Amino acid sequence: MRSIGEMARDSGLGVSALRFYDRAGVLVPAWVDPVSGYRWYGPEQLGEARLLARLRRAGMPLADVRLVLAGWSGADTDLVRKLLQRHLRRLELGLSDARREFSTLRALLDRRENPMTSPRTTAGTARLTVSASGLAAALDAVRFAVGSDPELPMLGGVLFDVEDGVLQVVATDRYRMAVARADIAGHGGPRAQVIVPTPLVDAMRALLDAGESVELALDGARVTLEAGDRQAAGQCLDHDFPDYRRLVRLPAGRRALVDVPAFRNAVETGPVRIGEAPGEDGVSPELSVLRVADDGTVSMSEDADDDPDDVAVNRAFLLDALAAGARERLVLEFGSPTAPLAVRRLDDEGTFSLLMPVRLEN
Protein backbone atom coordinates (compact mmCIF):
# COMPACT_ATOMS: atom_id res chain seq x y z
CA MET A 1 0.00 0.00 0.00
CA ARG A 2 1.16 3.53 -0.76
CA SER A 3 0.46 6.54 1.42
CA ILE A 4 -1.00 9.58 -0.28
CA GLY A 5 2.39 11.27 -0.14
CA GLU A 6 4.10 8.31 -1.80
CA MET A 7 1.37 8.11 -4.42
CA ALA A 8 1.79 11.82 -5.17
CA ARG A 9 5.55 11.41 -5.54
CA ASP A 10 5.33 8.35 -7.79
CA SER A 11 2.40 9.40 -9.96
CA GLY A 12 3.05 13.06 -10.67
CA LEU A 13 -0.24 14.13 -9.10
CA GLY A 14 -0.11 16.47 -6.13
CA VAL A 15 -1.53 15.51 -2.74
CA SER A 16 -4.32 18.05 -3.11
CA ALA A 17 -5.08 16.68 -6.58
CA LEU A 18 -5.38 13.15 -5.19
CA ARG A 19 -7.75 14.41 -2.52
CA PHE A 20 -9.82 16.16 -5.17
CA TYR A 21 -10.01 13.06 -7.39
CA ASP A 22 -11.03 11.01 -4.36
CA ARG A 23 -13.89 13.41 -3.56
CA ALA A 24 -14.86 13.43 -7.24
CA GLY A 25 -14.97 9.61 -7.30
CA VAL A 26 -12.35 9.39 -10.04
CA LEU A 27 -9.51 7.75 -8.10
CA VAL A 28 -10.77 6.46 -4.77
CA PRO A 29 -8.16 5.11 -2.29
CA ALA A 30 -8.17 1.39 -1.59
CA TRP A 31 -8.45 2.09 2.13
CA VAL A 32 -9.08 5.12 4.34
CA ASP A 33 -8.12 5.03 7.99
CA PRO A 34 -11.44 5.46 9.85
CA VAL A 35 -9.73 7.29 12.72
CA SER A 36 -7.27 9.62 11.00
CA GLY A 37 -8.94 9.77 7.59
CA TYR A 38 -5.56 9.07 5.98
CA ARG A 39 -5.71 7.64 2.46
CA TRP A 40 -3.87 4.52 1.29
CA TYR A 41 -3.62 3.26 -2.28
CA GLY A 42 -3.18 -0.25 -3.65
CA PRO A 43 -0.27 -1.22 -5.95
CA GLU A 44 -2.52 -1.42 -9.02
CA GLN A 45 -3.69 2.17 -8.50
CA LEU A 46 -0.30 3.66 -9.35
CA GLY A 47 -0.85 2.90 -13.03
CA GLU A 48 -4.29 4.50 -12.88
CA ALA A 49 -2.86 7.59 -11.20
CA ARG A 50 -0.15 7.95 -13.83
CA LEU A 51 -2.73 7.54 -16.57
CA LEU A 52 -4.90 10.15 -14.89
CA ALA A 53 -1.96 12.56 -14.73
CA ARG A 54 -1.29 12.12 -18.45
CA LEU A 55 -4.91 12.70 -19.38
CA ARG A 56 -5.11 15.86 -17.30
CA ARG A 57 -1.85 17.21 -18.74
CA ALA A 58 -3.42 16.68 -22.16
CA GLY A 59 -6.37 18.81 -21.04
CA MET A 60 -9.01 16.09 -21.23
CA PRO A 61 -12.27 17.07 -19.49
CA LEU A 62 -12.93 15.28 -16.24
CA ALA A 63 -16.11 13.67 -17.54
CA ASP A 64 -14.14 11.91 -20.30
CA VAL A 65 -11.32 11.04 -17.89
CA ARG A 66 -13.80 9.06 -15.80
CA LEU A 67 -14.81 6.98 -18.81
CA VAL A 68 -11.24 6.37 -19.94
CA LEU A 69 -10.23 5.14 -16.49
CA ALA A 70 -13.31 2.95 -16.29
CA GLY A 71 -12.59 1.32 -19.64
CA TRP A 72 -8.80 1.20 -19.55
CA SER A 73 -8.43 -2.21 -17.96
CA GLY A 74 -11.51 -3.76 -19.59
CA ALA A 75 -11.53 -6.26 -22.40
CA ASP A 76 -13.25 -3.85 -24.78
CA THR A 77 -11.02 -0.81 -25.29
CA ASP A 78 -12.98 0.56 -28.22
CA LEU A 79 -14.60 3.25 -26.06
CA VAL A 80 -11.22 4.35 -24.75
CA ARG A 81 -9.80 4.72 -28.25
CA LYS A 82 -12.82 6.71 -29.36
CA LEU A 83 -12.55 9.04 -26.38
CA LEU A 84 -8.85 9.63 -26.99
CA GLN A 85 -9.45 10.25 -30.67
CA ARG A 86 -12.34 12.61 -29.95
CA HIS A 87 -10.25 14.64 -27.55
CA LEU A 88 -7.35 14.82 -30.01
CA ARG A 89 -9.74 15.99 -32.72
CA ARG A 90 -11.12 18.62 -30.34
CA LEU A 91 -7.60 19.89 -29.66
CA GLU A 92 -6.74 19.96 -33.36
CA LEU A 93 -9.91 21.88 -34.22
CA GLY A 94 -9.23 24.32 -31.44
CA LEU A 95 -5.69 24.85 -32.67
CA SER A 96 -6.92 25.34 -36.24
CA ASP A 97 -9.42 27.95 -35.08
CA ALA A 98 -6.76 29.69 -33.01
CA ARG A 99 -4.31 29.77 -35.94
CA ARG A 100 -6.96 31.35 -38.16
CA GLU A 101 -7.84 34.03 -35.61
CA PHE A 102 -4.19 34.81 -34.91
CA SER A 103 -3.48 35.10 -38.61
CA THR A 104 -6.22 37.72 -38.85
CA LEU A 105 -4.89 39.55 -35.80
CA ARG A 106 -1.36 39.65 -37.22
CA ALA A 107 -2.71 41.12 -40.45
CA LEU A 108 -4.54 43.80 -38.47
CA LEU A 109 -1.38 44.59 -36.53
CA ASP A 110 0.67 44.82 -39.72
CA ARG A 111 -1.75 47.40 -41.07
CA ARG A 112 -1.66 49.45 -37.87
CA GLU A 113 2.08 49.51 -37.28
CA ASN A 114 4.63 51.63 -39.04
CA PRO A 115 7.89 49.77 -38.49
CA MET A 116 9.92 52.95 -39.12
CA THR A 117 8.29 54.85 -36.27
CA SER A 118 7.10 52.11 -33.95
CA PRO A 119 6.51 53.68 -30.51
CA ARG A 120 8.09 52.25 -27.42
CA THR A 121 7.07 52.43 -23.81
CA THR A 122 10.61 53.69 -23.09
CA ALA A 123 9.74 57.26 -24.15
CA GLY A 124 10.44 60.52 -22.39
CA THR A 125 12.91 61.67 -19.74
CA ALA A 126 12.50 62.55 -16.08
CA ARG A 127 14.59 63.35 -13.04
CA LEU A 128 12.82 63.11 -9.73
CA THR A 129 13.16 62.60 -6.01
CA VAL A 130 11.19 59.88 -4.26
CA SER A 131 10.96 58.62 -0.70
CA ALA A 132 13.16 55.57 -0.23
CA SER A 133 10.59 53.87 1.97
CA GLY A 134 7.77 54.78 -0.41
CA LEU A 135 9.56 53.33 -3.43
CA ALA A 136 10.56 50.23 -1.45
CA ALA A 137 6.93 49.65 -0.43
CA ALA A 138 5.76 50.15 -4.02
CA LEU A 139 8.26 47.66 -5.43
CA ASP A 140 7.40 45.14 -2.70
CA ALA A 141 3.74 45.46 -3.63
CA VAL A 142 4.27 44.53 -7.30
CA ARG A 143 7.37 42.35 -7.46
CA PHE A 144 5.44 39.08 -7.11
CA ALA A 145 3.51 39.71 -10.33
CA VAL A 146 6.47 40.12 -12.70
CA GLY A 147 6.32 37.74 -15.67
CA SER A 148 8.99 35.16 -16.53
CA ASP A 149 7.83 33.89 -19.93
CA PRO A 150 10.75 34.32 -22.39
CA GLU A 151 8.27 34.68 -25.24
CA LEU A 152 6.81 37.78 -23.56
CA PRO A 153 9.92 39.81 -22.69
CA MET A 154 7.90 43.01 -22.24
CA LEU A 155 6.46 41.48 -19.06
CA GLY A 156 9.86 40.58 -17.62
CA GLY A 157 10.20 43.80 -15.67
CA VAL A 158 8.40 46.54 -13.79
CA LEU A 159 6.88 49.52 -15.55
CA PHE A 160 7.88 52.89 -14.06
CA ASP A 161 5.24 55.42 -15.14
CA VAL A 162 5.84 59.06 -14.14
CA GLU A 163 3.09 61.63 -14.55
CA ASP A 164 1.53 64.50 -12.58
CA GLY A 165 3.74 64.20 -9.53
CA VAL A 166 3.19 60.46 -9.11
CA LEU A 167 5.30 57.41 -9.87
CA GLN A 168 3.27 54.31 -10.59
CA VAL A 169 4.96 50.92 -10.76
CA VAL A 170 3.17 48.07 -12.49
CA ALA A 171 3.89 44.38 -13.07
CA THR A 172 1.90 41.60 -14.72
CA ASP A 173 2.39 38.04 -15.92
CA ARG A 174 -1.06 37.94 -17.63
CA TYR A 175 -2.63 35.94 -14.81
CA ARG A 176 -2.23 38.68 -12.21
CA MET A 177 -1.39 42.36 -12.16
CA ALA A 178 -0.10 44.56 -9.37
CA VAL A 179 -0.11 48.36 -9.28
CA ALA A 180 1.43 50.65 -6.65
CA ARG A 181 2.21 54.33 -6.42
CA ALA A 182 4.70 56.61 -4.74
CA ASP A 183 4.65 60.41 -4.47
CA ILE A 184 7.55 62.19 -6.14
CA ALA A 185 9.09 65.65 -6.33
CA GLY A 186 11.05 67.46 -9.00
CA HIS A 187 9.18 66.31 -12.10
CA GLY A 188 7.01 68.74 -14.00
CA GLY A 189 7.45 67.52 -17.54
CA PRO A 190 5.42 65.22 -19.77
CA ARG A 191 4.64 61.63 -18.98
CA ALA A 192 7.65 59.30 -19.03
CA GLN A 193 7.66 55.51 -18.96
CA VAL A 194 10.34 52.83 -18.81
CA ILE A 195 10.30 49.08 -18.24
CA VAL A 196 12.96 48.26 -15.66
CA PRO A 197 14.22 44.66 -16.03
CA THR A 198 13.75 42.40 -13.03
CA PRO A 199 17.44 42.10 -12.01
CA LEU A 200 17.76 45.89 -11.97
CA VAL A 201 14.52 46.19 -9.98
CA ASP A 202 15.99 43.87 -7.36
CA ALA A 203 19.27 45.83 -7.33
CA MET A 204 17.32 49.05 -6.78
CA ARG A 205 15.29 47.51 -3.98
CA ALA A 206 18.49 46.53 -2.18
CA LEU A 207 19.49 50.23 -1.97
CA LEU A 208 16.25 51.42 -0.41
CA ASP A 209 16.61 50.15 3.15
CA ALA A 210 18.61 53.18 4.27
CA GLY A 211 18.18 56.91 3.77
CA GLU A 212 15.13 59.15 3.51
CA SER A 213 15.03 59.85 -0.22
CA VAL A 214 16.65 58.75 -3.47
CA GLU A 215 17.12 60.27 -6.89
CA LEU A 216 15.64 58.54 -9.91
CA ALA A 217 16.52 59.41 -13.49
CA LEU A 218 14.73 58.08 -16.57
CA ASP A 219 16.02 58.97 -20.00
CA GLY A 220 14.02 56.64 -22.23
CA ALA A 221 16.76 54.06 -22.67
CA ARG A 222 18.45 54.01 -19.27
CA VAL A 223 17.33 54.29 -15.67
CA THR A 224 19.49 55.30 -12.72
CA LEU A 225 18.73 55.19 -9.00
CA GLU A 226 21.08 57.10 -6.68
CA ALA A 227 20.93 56.47 -2.95
CA GLY A 228 23.62 58.57 -1.31
CA ASP A 229 26.94 57.41 -2.71
CA ARG A 230 25.47 54.16 -4.05
CA GLN A 231 23.93 53.67 -7.45
CA ALA A 232 21.98 51.09 -9.45
CA ALA A 233 21.71 51.75 -13.18
CA GLY A 234 21.10 49.91 -16.42
CA GLN A 235 19.32 49.72 -19.73
CA CYS A 236 15.56 49.56 -19.91
CA LEU A 237 13.67 46.92 -21.85
CA ASP A 238 13.06 48.02 -25.43
CA HIS A 239 9.45 46.89 -25.61
CA ASP A 240 5.91 48.19 -25.25
CA PHE A 241 4.15 47.50 -21.97
CA PRO A 242 0.39 46.76 -22.06
CA ASP A 243 -1.92 49.72 -21.45
CA TYR A 244 -2.50 48.87 -17.81
CA ARG A 245 -4.90 51.77 -17.31
CA ARG A 246 -7.42 50.04 -19.53
CA LEU A 247 -6.90 46.72 -17.76
CA VAL A 248 -7.68 48.11 -14.30
CA ARG A 249 -11.00 49.69 -15.27
CA LEU A 250 -13.32 47.23 -13.56
CA PRO A 251 -17.05 47.55 -13.01
CA ALA A 252 -18.16 48.06 -9.43
CA GLY A 253 -18.50 44.84 -7.51
CA ARG A 254 -19.18 43.46 -4.07
CA ARG A 255 -16.59 44.50 -1.48
CA ALA A 256 -15.64 42.36 1.49
CA LEU A 257 -13.30 43.39 4.30
CA VAL A 258 -11.06 40.54 5.48
CA ASP A 259 -8.78 40.13 8.47
CA VAL A 260 -5.62 39.09 6.63
CA PRO A 261 -4.02 36.69 9.18
CA ALA A 262 -7.28 34.80 9.67
CA PHE A 263 -8.14 34.82 5.99
CA ARG A 264 -4.63 33.67 5.01
CA ASN A 265 -4.97 30.74 7.42
CA ALA A 266 -8.36 29.89 5.89
CA VAL A 267 -6.85 29.91 2.41
CA GLU A 268 -3.83 27.83 3.44
CA THR A 269 -5.83 25.19 5.29
CA GLY A 270 -9.13 25.32 3.41
CA PRO A 271 -10.39 23.10 0.60
CA VAL A 272 -8.87 23.36 -2.85
CA ARG A 273 -10.04 22.46 -6.31
CA ILE A 274 -7.98 21.52 -9.36
CA GLY A 275 -8.09 23.82 -12.37
CA GLU A 276 -9.50 22.59 -15.66
CA ALA A 277 -6.48 23.69 -17.73
CA PRO A 278 -2.88 22.86 -16.82
CA GLY A 279 -0.54 25.79 -16.22
CA GLU A 280 2.62 26.60 -18.14
CA ASP A 281 4.47 23.95 -16.12
CA GLY A 282 1.98 21.30 -17.23
CA VAL A 283 0.43 21.03 -13.77
CA SER A 284 -3.14 22.08 -13.07
CA PRO A 285 -3.15 24.79 -10.37
CA GLU A 286 -4.72 24.46 -6.95
CA LEU A 287 -7.70 26.79 -6.72
CA SER A 288 -9.41 28.50 -3.83
CA VAL A 289 -13.11 28.96 -4.51
CA LEU A 290 -14.30 32.10 -2.76
CA ARG A 291 -17.89 32.66 -1.70
CA VAL A 292 -19.24 35.91 -0.27
CA ALA A 293 -22.13 35.69 2.19
CA ASP A 294 -24.81 38.35 2.51
CA ASP A 295 -23.05 39.74 5.59
CA GLY A 296 -19.78 40.20 3.66
CA THR A 297 -18.03 37.16 5.09
CA VAL A 298 -15.72 35.38 2.64
CA SER A 299 -15.39 31.60 2.92
CA MET A 300 -13.73 28.76 1.01
CA SER A 301 -16.35 26.80 -0.91
CA GLU A 302 -16.11 23.04 -1.28
CA ASP A 303 -19.62 22.31 -2.49
CA ALA A 304 -20.02 20.02 -5.46
CA ASP A 305 -22.66 22.38 -6.87
CA ASP A 306 -21.04 25.80 -6.94
CA ASP A 307 -22.91 29.01 -6.43
CA PRO A 308 -22.91 30.94 -9.74
CA ASP A 309 -21.33 33.89 -7.94
CA ASP A 310 -18.37 31.85 -6.62
CA VAL A 311 -14.98 33.07 -7.83
CA ALA A 312 -12.09 30.63 -8.25
CA VAL A 313 -8.51 31.93 -8.18
CA ASN A 314 -5.07 30.36 -8.09
CA ARG A 315 -4.43 29.76 -4.39
CA ALA A 316 -0.69 30.53 -4.57
CA PHE A 317 -1.41 33.80 -6.40
CA LEU A 318 -3.98 34.78 -3.78
CA LEU A 319 -1.51 34.16 -0.95
CA ASP A 320 1.10 36.24 -2.79
CA ALA A 321 -1.38 39.10 -3.20
CA LEU A 322 -2.30 39.01 0.49
CA ALA A 323 1.39 39.21 1.44
CA ALA A 324 2.03 42.03 -1.04
CA GLY A 325 -0.93 43.94 0.39
CA ALA A 326 1.13 44.38 3.57
CA ARG A 327 -1.84 45.22 5.77
CA GLU A 328 -3.70 43.53 8.62
CA ARG A 329 -6.97 44.20 6.81
CA LEU A 330 -7.60 44.25 3.07
CA VAL A 331 -10.63 44.63 0.83
CA LEU A 332 -11.54 41.93 -1.66
CA GLU A 333 -13.60 43.28 -4.54
CA PHE A 334 -15.64 40.75 -6.46
CA GLY A 335 -17.16 41.38 -9.85
CA SER A 336 -18.64 38.55 -11.89
CA PRO A 337 -17.06 35.06 -11.71
CA THR A 338 -15.27 35.92 -14.98
CA ALA A 339 -13.96 39.32 -13.84
CA PRO A 340 -10.65 39.79 -12.01
CA LEU A 341 -10.63 39.67 -8.22
CA ALA A 342 -9.21 42.91 -6.83
CA VAL A 343 -7.21 42.94 -3.58
CA ARG A 344 -7.13 46.51 -2.26
CA ARG A 345 -5.85 48.45 0.72
CA LEU A 346 -8.19 50.51 2.85
CA ASP A 347 -5.77 53.42 3.15
CA ASP A 348 -4.29 53.41 -0.36
CA GLU A 349 -6.59 52.92 -3.33
CA GLY A 350 -3.64 53.38 -5.69
CA THR A 351 -1.99 50.14 -4.57
CA PHE A 352 -3.82 46.94 -5.46
CA SER A 353 -3.57 43.53 -7.12
CA LEU A 354 -5.81 41.91 -9.71
CA LEU A 355 -6.11 38.12 -10.00
CA MET A 356 -7.64 36.52 -13.05
CA PRO A 357 -10.37 34.00 -12.22
CA VAL A 358 -9.93 30.36 -13.19
CA ARG A 359 -12.58 28.19 -14.77
CA LEU A 360 -13.95 25.55 -12.44
CA GLU A 361 -14.46 21.89 -13.29
CA ASN A 362 -17.94 21.07 -14.49
Question: What is the predicted pLDDT for the residue at 123?
Answer: 55
Domain check: are 28 and 114 in the same one?
yes
Question: What is the predicted pLDDT for the residue at 145?
Answer: 96
Question: What is the predicted pLDDT for the residue at 280?
Answer: 58
Identity of the amino acid at 24: A
Domain check: are 134 and 238 in the same one?
yes
3-state secondary structure of 1: coil
Residue 221: inside a domain: yes
pLDDT tens, residue order, the chain (362 aa): 999 989 988 998 888 889 888 888 889 999 999 988 899 999 999 999 999 999 988 888 888 888 888 888 776 688 888 889 999 999 998 888 888 888 888 888 877 765 544 445 545 678 899 999 999 999 999 999 999 988 889 899 999 999 888 899 999 999 999 999 998 887 777 888 999 999 999 999 999 987 789 999 988 789 999 998 899 999 999 888 888 888 888 777 789 999 999 999 999 998 888 766 655 555 677 889 998 888 889 988 876 556 778 888 999 999 999 999 999 999 999 987 778 999 999 998 889 999 998 876 54
Q: Taking each helix axis as running N to C, give the angle between helix 315-325 and helix 132-142, from 0 to 180 degrees, rounded to the nearest 10.
A: 170
Q: Residue 215 belongs to a domain with what CATH number? A: 3.10.150.10
Where are the alpha helices (H) located in 12-61, listed in sequence order?
Answer: 15-23, 45-57
d(CA 9, CA 149): 27
pTM: 0.72
Specify whether the backbone of 25 is left (phi greater than 0), alpha (psi in -120 to 50) or beta: left
Domain check: are 87 and 136 in the same one?
no
Domain check: are 335 and 236 in the same one?
no
236 to 62, 173, 196, 229: CA distances (angstroms): 45, 18, 5, 22
Domain final position from 178, 210, 245:
245
Domain check: are 108 and 194 in the same one?
no
**H or E element in which residue 348 lies:** none
Q: Taking each helix axis as running N to C, give the angle between helix 45-57 and helix 4-11, from 0 to 180 degrees, rounded to the nearest 10.
A: 50
Residue 89: inside a domain: yes
Domain that holds residue 263: 250-355
**N-to-C CA span, the chain:** 31
d(CA 16, CA 311): 19
Domain check: are 264 and 302 in the same one?
yes
Domain check: are 153 and 196 in the same one?
yes
Residue 333: inside a domain: yes
Number of domains within the chain: 3
Residue 360: inside a domain: no
Domain final position from 182, 214, 245:
245
Residue 204: inside a domain: yes
Residue 276: inside a domain: yes
Residue 5: inside a domain: yes
Domain final position from 188, 222, 245:
245
Domain check: are 241 and 269 in the same one?
no
Domain check: are 224 and 266 in the same one?
no
Q: Residue 72 belongs to a domain with what CATH number? A: 1.10.1660.10
Question: What is the predicted pLDDT for the residue at 106?
Answer: 81
Domain check: are 105 and 134 in the same one?
no
Domain check: are 239 and 255 in the same one?
no
Residue 361: inside a domain: no
Domain check: are 108 and 143 in the same one?
no
